[in-house]
Amino acid sequence: MNKRVVITGVGVISPIGIGKEAFWSALMEGRCGVDHISSFDASRFDTRIAAEVRDFDPTDYMDRKEVRRNDRFVHFAVAASRMALEDAGFTITPANAEEVGVIIGSGIGGMRTLEEQHRIFLEKGPDRVSPFFVTMMIVNMAAGQVSIQIGAKGPNSAVVTACATGGHAIGDAFRIIQRGEAIAMLAGGAEAAITPLALAAFCSMKAMSRRNDDPKRAVRPFDRERDGFVMGEGAGVVLLEELEHALRRDAHIYAECIGYGTSADAYHITQPDPEGDGAARAMARALRDARIDPSEVDYINAHGTSTPYNDRLETLAIKRVFGDHAYRLAVSSTKSMTGHLLGAAGGVELIACLLSIEHQRIPPTINYEFPDPECDLDYVPNTPRQARVETAMSNAFGFGGHNAVLVVRRFTG
């Protein structure tokens, strides 16, 4: 029989706030983290805006020497993991270390390091490339460094499924605890890819908004005038824990994780399936895994990227799975405020679901002005909503046709 799994700690680094209190306050205020790029000169790019994390000091969470030897995405991962552990009041000891694991992924990894070291290679030659280049760049180093920093010796791996990464990481950690292979897992995603080369690549794909003169209104999921996503950065990590273990230590429980569904579109490297088939199958599988009826879901934190294809097809997929109930449940996209955190999106957005259950309030989809006939659900436009939220779903869909869906429910004992 599967173990029951609950979430007892959250850690978030986002463009709208560092830490759960700042993050939640910003969501409830409808604050947007998108602005003109400050970390480099973006004047030559078609898109010159992004959702950057500002006022973040990695030395608050890591030794200064270790900060220099790790990429920014790892700094975010370590910080969010420490926050989640502290929030949960969970202590790793020699007695439990082998039963505590880490799964933290990234869609892109150490892009900043890659660009910097390539420049050094071209300008100064191969002998000047850092001996830490590889370990700073590779995606698995977020999970590796977190385990080193906190002493977690249990299952450890990294997920790389583009924008579905955070969802898959948490879902895979959920399964590990269900099977009895760990008592607790830190899981989520981290991303720090707002760099010249990455920005140029996404610009070339014509995937991003070009509302450079109005950055706060650039991300507009499900709105008729949406014209693309805006890059964000940050990390979202949660502590999942076996229920009986959490109860024995009288832990605060945000919610029980009850369902996880995955699928592949098997259609195109960037475009979703034209019928929303992959997304629909992932949602349906998550509901079956949770053993609940679709009518029991109160809120969906949508993938909601603000791209023409995603928002229309995600809406179609929700209607395929939920039928008439699709028009009764609340659907919102917090990307309208955070931008698209790529591999970190699934972790950050599940935390938004957990805090919605905690506070019985639903974050809005800001910048919703012009209804799209093909996007005709309740997107909680522009202002947060007090509402009964017992069960919430988090959608994460990635390039390559990767889909991950999580279902969490308020724990009532």
Q: Is 395 helix (H, G, I), strand (E, B) or coil?
A: strand
Question: Which helix (H) or strand (E) segment is 184 a member of?
Answer: strand 184-191
Instruction: Look at residue 222 in the predicted model and tell me its pLDDT.
Output: 98
DSSP 84-117: HHHHHT----TTTGGGEEEEEE-SS-SHHHHHHH
217 versus 413: which is more confidently predicted?
Answer: 217
Can you give the pLDDT at residue 243? 98
For position 168, what pLDDT does the model report? Answer: 98
User: Residue 63: is it exposed, middle or buried by C-beta count within 10 angstroms (0-12/13-18/19+)?
Assistant: exposed
Q: What per-residue string of b and e applies to 383-395 under the rule 16 or more CB within 10 Å gives b? A: ebbeeebebbbbb
pLDDT, tens only, 69-90 = 999 999 999 999 999 999 999 9
290 pLDDT exceeds 90? yes
Encode pLDDT of 329-341 as tens digits: 999 999 999 999 9
**Distance in angstroms (rounded) separating the CA atoms of residues 323 and 401:** 23
Span 153-207, pLDDT tens digits: 999 999 999 999 999 999 999 999 999 999 999 999 999 999 999 999 999 999 9
Q: What is 1-400's CATH number, 3.40.50.300, 3.40.47.10, 1.10.730.10, 3.20.20.480?
A: 3.40.47.10
pLDDT tens, residue by residue, 82-130: 999 999 999 999 999 999 999 999 999 999 999 999 999 999 999 999 9
Mean pLDDT across 251-271: 95
AA identity, residue 56 = F
Name residue, tokens 């790529």: 342
Ordered DSSP codes for 258-308 = EEEEEEE--S-SSSPPTT-HHHHHHHHHHHHHHT--GGG--EEE----S-H
d(CA 250, CA 107): 35
For residue 1, pLDDT over 90 is answered with no
- At 210, the pLDDT band (50, 70, 90 cuts) reads very high
Collapsed DSSP state (helix, strand, coil) of residue 372: strand
Residue 237 exposed, middle or buried by CB count within 10 Å (0-12, 13-18, 19+): buried
- Give the domain ranges of the chain: 1-400
Phi and psi for 372 in degrees, rounded to 5?
A: -105, 125
| 331-to-326, 367, 402 alpha-carbon distances in Å | 9, 15, 21
Q: How many helices (H) and strands (E) does the chain have?
A: 13, 15
- DSSP for residue 375: B
Which two tokens mark 70?
């790790």
Active-site amino acid positions: 163, 303, 340
**Quick check: 236 and 394 in contact, CB under 8 A?**
no
pLDDT given at position 13: 98
Describe the chain by its helix, strand, coil percentages, rounded to 5.
Answer: 40, 20, 40
272: confidence class by pLDDT, cuts 50, 70, 90: confident
Find how far residue 112's CA is from the centre of its chain.
20
pLDDT of residue 273: 86
Q: Tell me the backbone φ, ψ of residue 107, rounded to 5 degrees.
A: -70, -35
